[in-house]
Amino acid sequence: MKKIFWLVSIILFLTKISYSQLSCSNFLSNRKAEPPYKMSSMSKSAVSISGHVYKYEVPLSADKEYRLMFFASPAFNNNIHFKVIDKNATSDPSDDKVILDLPGENPKTQNARGTAALAPFEDKDGHEFHPYFDIIPAHATSLEIIIDVKQPPAQKDEYGNTYTEVIKGCVAVVILEKPSESF
């Protein structure tokens, strides 16, 4: 019995270690697309750390329409800056065009500690929606999504030493797509 106990303990301990290494995949798998949209395989969630900048290079096809949504762990308290640049297929930076420039914090959500990252909006019937951005490529192009996870302001402890909180959580870029109708 003693041997079995130690064997089971070791197995359970190893199981526990593997579970502790869980990344942010659940943060994405909980999101579902509603027809006519389907979830693009390019949707991505990643472990993100305050004070870091994450760039997502997203190729877009001309025969599709895309819907972009952003989600972040409540721990970041919406203190994230989102910027989306149309790279326009050229390597010339003068052709780049900023199409979205969104500070995560805003009066409606800054104290909510929700997963919205951006303020939700209501339709005319009062239904609340997670904010999304519809993108239509006229020609194939590439978007650069820049997610700047801001460092919280430095604080002082009881002895007067300065410290900064390092926050680790998940940020997800959800990309939905459907066949193009517009062009």
Partner 1 sequence: MRKFYFIMMLALFSLVVFSCHKEKKPQEQIQKTIPQKDTAEVEIFYLVPSPDDIFGFASSPDLYFDPSLPNPVANAGKYNNTRLQDLNFGVYSADLAYSAAFGKREETKMYLDVVKSLSEKIGLSEVFNESLVNRINNIGSNKDSLIAISNDTYFDIIRYLEKYDRISTLAILAAGGWLETMYLVVNLTHYTPSNPTIQKIADQKIIFSNLYKFLQQNITDPNVKYVYDEYSKLNEIFNDFELVKTGNQQDKSKVKGKIIVGSNVKIVMNKQQFIKLRNVINDIRADFTLNK
Q: Does 32 bind partner 1 (CB under 8 A)?
A: no
Q: Does 79 bind partner 1 (CB under 8 A)?
A: no
Q: Does 122 bind partner 1 (CB under 8 A)?
A: no
Q: With contact defined as beta carbons under 8 Å apart, do 121 and 128 qualify?
A: yes
Q: Does 166 bind partner 1 (CB under 8 A)?
A: yes
Q: With contact defined as beta carbons under 8 Å apart, do 78 and 106 qualify?
A: yes
Cα separation, 58 vs 37, whole angstroms: 17
Q: Which is nearer to partner 1, 68 or 119 (CB)?
A: 68
Report the first-to-last Cα separation within the chain, whole angstroms.
72
Q: Does 78 bind partner 1 (CB under 8 A)?
A: no
Q: Which two tokens stand for residue 133?
A: 């951005």
Stretch that binds partner 1, among 89-97, 102-110, 121-129 (CB under 8 A): 89-97
Q: Which two tokens stand for residue 117?
A: 């990252």
Determine which residue in the list 26, 101, 106, 129 makes contact with partner 1, applying CB under 8 A: 26
Determine which residue in the list 69, 78, 79, 86 makes contact with partner 1, applying CB under 8 A: 86
Handedness of CA 102, 105, 107, 108 (dihedral sign): positive
Q: Which is nearer to partner 1, 21 or 107 (CB)?
A: 21
* Binding residue count for partner 1, defined by CB under 8 A: 84
Q: Does 94 bind partner 1 (CB under 8 A)?
A: no
Q: Which two tokens stand for residue 91?
A: 């390597």
Q: Which two tokens stand for residue 27?
A: 């943060």
